[in-house]
């Protein structure tokens, strides 16, 4: 297969490995789906280095406390 820049890669190297470990990605997706979408968006915004507005920070703080409380109850 050619990549458009003159380079080529054998087709067998592009096929997904049967032994690939996709379970952690699937688990992460399921965990993130358990949280409110807005909370996940703000967590990513904060992770990416963007500053949260006051209302976003308040919402994030409140949801973070709820998430921590759930984790303690499960443990």
Query: How does pLDDT run across 30-55, given as a tens digit for each residue?
Result: 888 989 999 999 999 999 999 999 99
Confirm whether 33 is domain-assigned.
Answer: yes
pTM of the full structure: 0.60
- From the number of C-beta atoms within 10 Å of its C-beta (0-12, 13-18, 19+), residue 42 rates as buried
- Average pLDDT over the chain, rounded to whole? 82
Question: Does residue 15 lie within any of the structural domains?
Answer: yes
Position 1 in a domain:
no
Q: Are 8 and 2 in contact (CB under 8 A)?
A: yes
- The single-letter DSSP state of residue 36 is -
More confident residue, 66 or 6: 66
Per the model's pLDDT, the better-predicted residue between 37 and 29 turns out to be 37
Residue % of the chain over a pLDDT of 70: 76
In a domain, 4, yes or no: no
Number of domains in the chain: 1
Q: Would 37 be classed as within a structural domain? A: yes
Q: Which domain holds residue 67?
A: 11-74
């Amino acid at each position: 297969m050619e990549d458009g820049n003159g380079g080529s890669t054998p087709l067998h190297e592009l096929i997904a490995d049967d032994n690939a470990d996709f379970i952690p990605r699937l688990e992460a997706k399921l965990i993130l789906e358990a949280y409110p979408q807005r909370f996940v968006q703000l967590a990513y915004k904060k992770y990416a280095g963007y500053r949260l507005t006051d209302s976003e920070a308040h919402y994030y703080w409140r949801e973070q406390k709820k998430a921590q409380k759930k984790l303690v109850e499960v443990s």
